[in-house]
Amino acid sequence: MAENVTRPTDASVMDFLAAVEHPVRRADGLRLLALMAEITGEQPRMWGPTIVGFGQYHYKYETGREGDAAAVGFSPRKASLSIYGATYSPEAAGLLERLGKHKTGAGCLYVNKLADVDEAVLRELIRTGYRHITTVLHQS
C-alpha cells in the first residue's frame, strides 16, 4: 500500500507563508495561522510541502488504508485558500449557508479571499470541525 505523502515535516511555517507570492493570499494565510492557533491551542506544523496543520488524528478506512492527518489546516494555493477539517462536523452544513462566497469539495473548503466570508462563521466552522475531528474521530 502506498505511503501517505502528506506527513508532518520540520519545515518552517513562517518561511512557507513568507514565500507565498500573491500578497492577498499571503496575508490571508497569516490570518488563518493566527485564527487556527487561537481556536485549536495547537502549534502550527507543515504537513507535506504546502499544508499548514494544527493538531493530528489517526484515520482508518474500511479499505484498510490508514494514516495520520492534521485535524485542521490550510494551504494558500494559487487558485484559492484551501481549508481542511472545517466541513466535517454536523454543524457545518448550516454554517456554510451563512459563510459567504465559497466552494466545497472532497472534504475541503475553498475560499478566494477571507474578505469574501464572514470571519465569525469561519471561526465557528474551524472550532466545530476541530472539536469533531479530535473527539468524535478519536485523536491518536
Residue 87, SS3? coil
In a domain, 2, yes or no: no
Task: Give the model confidence (pLDDT) of 97-133 as tens digits.
Answer: 999 999 999 889 999 999 999 999 999 999 999 999 9
In a domain, 97, yes or no: yes
The boundaries of the domain holding residue 43 are: 13-136
In a domain, 31, yes or no: yes
CATH of the domain at 97: 3.90.1150.200
In a domain, 106, yes or no: yes
Residue 119, SS3? helix
Q: Which of 73, 72, 68, 63 is nearest to 6 (CA)?
A: 68
Judge whether 51 and 70 are in contact, CB under 8 Å.
Answer: yes
In a domain, 3, yes or no: no
Chain centre to alpha carbon of residue 39: 12
Q: Which of 88, 90, 86 is nearest to 75 (CA)?
A: 86
In a domain, 8, yes or no: no
In total, how many domains does the chain have? 1
In a domain, 5, yes or no: no
Q: Which of 54, 77, 62, 66 is nearest to 133 (CA)?
A: 54
At residue 138, the pLDDT reads: 56
Q: Which residue has the cell 520540520?
A: 10
In a domain, 62, yes or no: yes
Task: Give the model confidence (pLDDT) of 49-106 as tens digits.
Answer: 999 999 998 888 788 888 889 999 999 999 999 999 999 999 999 999 999 999 999 8
Task: Determine the Cα–Cα distance for residues 25 and 115; give it in Å rounded to an integer.
Answer: 11
**Considering all CA atoms of the chain, what is the largest pairwise distance in Å, rounded to the nearest integer?**
42
At residue 3, the pLDDT reads: 55
* pLDDT band with cut points at 50, 70 and 90 for residue 5: low
The contacts of residue 20 (CB under 8 Å, 6+ apart) are: 26, 29, 76
